[in-house]
Amino acid sequence: MSKLKTKIREYRLLHNIKQSELAELVNVRRETIVHLENGKYNPSLKLAMDIAKVFNVTVEELFEFED
């Protein structure tokens, strides 16, 4: 089964944005960002697109499937 790998933490640190700040920008709880970064939660397409927009990258740059 494929696992979704995310670069949210990398981009967040690169842009000096706290988890709570990112959560506020995309209208979710901080815990959701924590779960996304730890691979415990797969985002909806809308959430994935919203997060990518914050960092000005594509969804494909932010998320990838790992075998």
Per-residue pLDDT tens over the stretch 39-61: 888 999 999 999 999 999 999 99
Tell me the longest C-alpha to C-alpha distance in the chain.
33
Q: Is the CB of residue 19 less than 8 Å from the CB of residue 30? A: yes
Global pTM value: 0.90
Residue 30's φ and ψ, nearest 5 degrees, are -60, -35
Q: Which domains does the chain have, with CATH numbers?
A: 3-59 (1.10.260.40)
Nearest to residue 52, comparing CAs of 16, 19, 7? 7
Mean pLDDT within 21-48: 95
- Percent of the chain with pLDDT strictly greater than 90: 81
